[in-house]
Amino acid sequence: MAVRRFYSSTILAATVAVVVALAPGVNAFAIGSPPGGFVIPIGSTASFTNVLFGACNNLSWGYQLNGGANHVQFTFPGGCGSGTGPNVTIGPFTTPQSLRVFLSDNTCGAIYYSDGLPVDHVIVSGSNPYSLRWADAGGFCERKTTTANNFSGCNFCIDLAISDQAIAATATNISATEGKPFSGTVATFTDTDTNATTADYSATVAWGDGSTSTGTVTGSAGSFSVSGSHTYAEEGTDQVTVTITDADNPANSATAKPTAGVADAALTASPACSATFSHSYSGLTATFTDAASPSGTLSDFSASIDWGDGTSTAGTITGAGGSYSVSGSHTYASTGSFTITTTITDVGGKMATTTCATVGFSFAPGGGSFVISDHNAAVGSSVTFWGAQWAKDNTLSGRAAPRSFKGFTEDPRTPTCGLDWSTDPGNSTPPPSGPLPAFMGVIVTSSATKTGSIISGNSIHIVVVQTNAGYAPDPGHAGTGKVVAVVC
């Protein structure tokens, strides 16, 4: 602040003239010729030559160090009348940390300008009304007059054209992550005025992405920091501009330009495959989240699906607000167990990969389906789905199976959970000649009954059986395998 840091600025003019202007009711002292002025930095040794005082009794101008412990007063002889007093030299002297300026003459008595009040609004009184206001940068001065034509009232106004010592700022680079709040130091600055407080400054932070906020100033004794908080929506490099301004002298400002390195937010992927599929796979393969939620958009991502058979295709991404899904379609050349790998890539370079297993199957070729009992249909169970001993090898929870049933139903409909099936007994409906699919869909039944020449039952589950070698349509060549997955 210009006013309070009168003593922490710089000398603007080597020769300073103090001129007394005589007018009815007003005495004005203007430092500078014209307009000139001076200010004195802390700890500087200063002297002023050719200081011209008008004749007004014995006018004194001086300062006190450290509350009066060291007192220096300069006295200029003369009388209140026209003309001017002598040219004198003030100094040399070293400026203190606290400067108290006073004026006095032998008519009005001592006029003491105390810093007990804010320096920019010092009002003092003596035997007559007196006033003084330290000037802001630019030279404003406020004065108070006595009765017209009463020069002996000795009204004084010192007009100081002062200029703050420039503050100096240094950038502090920023490391942030997109979508995550950043909070920290963005700049530091120094001021030669060690008495300045944080209230003397304001700061703004332009974050480089079109947004601006107010910075927080902390510190003391001439050393300060500016901090701020911001969330970047996208990764990349942004040029930040921090502007620090003297609250009472906007012309005294400093700018720092830190660089914000905004890292790409992490992606987290999870498997989402169907456990089984028939013929062609179509559907979800993965889900993923973006730590930058909700700032991420679909265009930020791409996905690739490795189907586990040597084929890869692009995935389709859907979703919003940080939660997304990847889906795709693929036709396999054969049945089997496949590992699907989905890789998601962010435009900023982050990647996430997830895998899942799925089983591709088909039903018996040529129509119809094989059947197993519900008591041995758990995943991992070894089963017999065809043969002369089917009724013996398959225990039903409902009732014993007809001995004539060998395990194949001729129902032409695609098997579905909840759909009943039926077939002719014995060998009247021949099963497929083979070979069977390596992974084959099989009906799980809890009830098989014979009515006349028709055997029928229910479909409580559909499972996938990995078939063994040795099958033949002759019931003497049993069809066996292991349950590897549940379809429904």
Mean pLDDT over the full length of the chain: 72
Rounded CA gap, 249 and 3, in Å?
9
Q: Tell me the per-residue pLDDT of 429-439, one tens digit each, with 9 for 90 and over.
A: 789 998 999 99
Residue 34: pLDDT above 50? no
Q: How far is CA 265 from CA 152, 236, 268, 288, 347, in A?
A: 77, 11, 10, 13, 11
Rounded CA gap, 244 and 200, in Å?
10
Rounded CA gap, 345 and 353, in Å?
9
Q: Tell me the per-residue pLDDT of 247-267, one tens digit each, with 9 for 90 and over.
A: 877 878 999 999 999 998 889
C-beta separation of 367 from 460 below 8 A = no
Give residue 348's identity as a one-letter amino acid code.
G
Rounded CA gap, 143 and 156, in Å?
7
Residue 399 — pLDDT band, cuts 50, 70, 90? confident
189: closest CA among 217, 165, 208? 217
Give residue 401's identity as a one-letter amino acid code.
A
Q: Tell me the per-residue pLDDT of 87-119, one tens digit each, with 9 for 90 and over.
A: 334 344 443 332 333 333 333 222 222 232 222
Q: Considering the domain 267-361, what is its CATH architecture? A: Sandwich (2.60)
Q: How far is CA 435 from CA 364, 439, 470, in A?
A: 9, 11, 10
Residue 272: pLDDT above 50? yes
| 30-39, 92-101, 354-363: range with lowest mean pLDDT | 30-39
Rounded CA gap, 75 and 346, in Å?
79
C-beta separation of 135 from 141 below 8 A = yes
CATH 2.60.40.10 range(s) for the chain read: 267-361
C-beta separation of 331 from 280 below 8 A = yes
Report the pLDDT averaged over residues 52-81. 32
In degrees rounded to 5, what are phi and psi of residue 485?
Answer: -160, 155
Residue 31: pLDDT above 60? no
Side-chain half-sphere CA neighbours of 96 within 13 A: 15
Rounded CA gap, 42 and 8, in Å?
5
CATH 2.60.40.650 range(s) for the chain read: 168-263
Residue 292 — pLDDT band, cuts 50, 70, 90? confident
- Say what the pLDDT of residue 11 is: 25
- At residue 17's C-alpha, the angle toward residues 12 and 19, to 5°, is 135
Q: Tokens standing for 121?
A: 């609004």
Strand partners, 336: 360
Residue 21: pLDDT above 70? no
Pairing between strand 369-373 and 351-361?
Answer: unpaired
Residue 410: pLDDT above 90? no
- Residue-by-residue DSSP string for 266-312: PEEEEE---SEEESEEEEEEEEEEETTTTS--GGGEEEEEE-SSS-E
Q: What CATH number matches the domain at 168-263, 2.60.40.650, 3.40.190.290, 2.102.10.10, 3.30.70.3270?
A: 2.60.40.650
| 11-15, 269-273, 406-410, 483-487: range with lowest mean pLDDT | 11-15
Report the pLDDT averaged over residues 287-296. 81
Residue 425: pLDDT above 90? no
DSSP at 135: P
Q: Tell me the per-residue pLDDT of 40-55, one tens digit each, with 9 for 90 and over.
A: 333 434 443 333 333 3
Share of the chain above pLDDT 90, in %: 49
Which residue is it, tokens 């304001």?
202
* Rg of the chain over all Cα atoms, to the nearest angstrom: 48
C-beta separation of 137 from 89 below 8 A = no
Residue 428 — pLDDT band, cuts 50, 70, 90? low
Rounded CA gap, 290 and 267, in Å?
5
Report the pLDDT averaged over residues 384-405. 91
Rounded CA gap, 31 and 134, in Å?
12
- Say what the pLDDT of residue 426 is: 56
26: closest CA among 208, 151, 188? 151
Q: How far is CA 102 from CA 84, 109, 358, in A?
A: 21, 11, 93
Residue 142: pLDDT above 50? no
Rounded CA gap, 294 and 362, in Å?
42
